[in-house]
Chains A and B, each alone.
Chain A
Amino acid sequence: MPVNHTTLESETSMLTIHDLSATVANKAILKGLSLRINAGEIHAIMGPNGAGKSTLGYTLGGRPGYEVTGGSVDFDGQDLLSLAPHERAAAGLFLGFQYPVEIPGVSMVQFLRESLNAQRKARGEDPLSGGAFLKLAREQAALLKLDPEMLKRPVNVGFSGGEKKRAEMVQMGILDPKLAILDETDSGLDIDALKVCGEGINAIMRRPDKAVLLITHYQRLLDYVKPDFVHVLAGGRIVRSGGADLALELEEQGYEGAVA
């Protein structure tokens, strides 16, 4: 399977995954996965249950327990795999969780301000003041139609499924990453929330200097966030790549039909 459009050398590679293998609890999940994402592009990875989609997200995020056994990942000129999770975030990587974690007792505002300022410090930038941070947080909450009062509540505690996912997008807006890997951001969303999240992703990330990797089961999110490339992940590798129309084909034929 060719890495997409390697001939267009003028484009800037944001993420280059080469022959990546990874295990979880000693079980091989990723088996030689290669993928290149350029700045300005939105890629979608689709695939059946157990294909390794979430493992790819967690491996790129550096989650403990996801062990890389081979291959390399270059992120904007850096060896991503040599960085700790918080260093990957500071380098501009954002991982949107399928199941955002609840942190009792820690308010969203405190958590996000400390996170943002930790990233800024790592990049040699000055911290954002309390006032400037709150202004930014309110703007991003408004973009995702999330009640700004929710930012005062403990992280994800008592949030509905849809609120958690919208809160993830608010976090993305505040942290302003270069590359967002969004793991099933569409799961647990009703149709209205899906639209809001889709529009949020476009507003925050569809820029020439940013890129997105959407991990999803279904085509429906792609109605709102139109991907430039769609890949099918099966058995721990990319088995097929195409344009946006591949998602429609998958929806019609199922994974078995499309990768046969």
Chain B
Amino acid sequence: MKKYNQIVNEWYVGLRSLFINYIHKRLPALRIEDIEDVYTETFIAVRQNLLNNKVASGTNWKAYIFQIGYNMSINKMKQESKLVQASDRPSDDDVDADEKFQTQMSLQDLIDDSDDKEQAEQRIAVLRREMTYLPEPCETILKDFYFGGFSMAEIMDEIHYNSVASVKSMKNRCMNRFKERVRVAFKMLNLID
């Protein structure tokens, strides 16, 4: 059982360079040192918001941290007279919003809709186990896209790819390889593929 501070530390360390890249790409006028400072402030603000019941249940924390951090970065620039217009923000409207996956799927609904519920539960158990073996960058791409609500362009920045097309292609390769592994696992367990 992990300790709470160990879990927070893993998140803090794990998101740090991604956060710096994310903000630097959008607000290049802000110094790296300032972004690092904002990052620590963001975690403090996130904790405060949570304790003050200002965060909705089921929040996607990575997206939330990046959103709060972005706003704090804007504030920091304003404080330092590096004025930016609110419209400078890459809003959902101008960052390929249609490329974002925004549908929440329900496992229970899928099981309920299945002809053979027991088989469906077993298939899902296998899927979830196999998911722990997702290699990088597949894990980042798939989780950011299907859960994080990040666009392909944002994921491209995060994993340092050169084009959105190459991220899309990698995402599809990841999916296909994962499905192949799951197919083998299903076969071994005599589950219907």
The answer to whether A and B assemble together is no
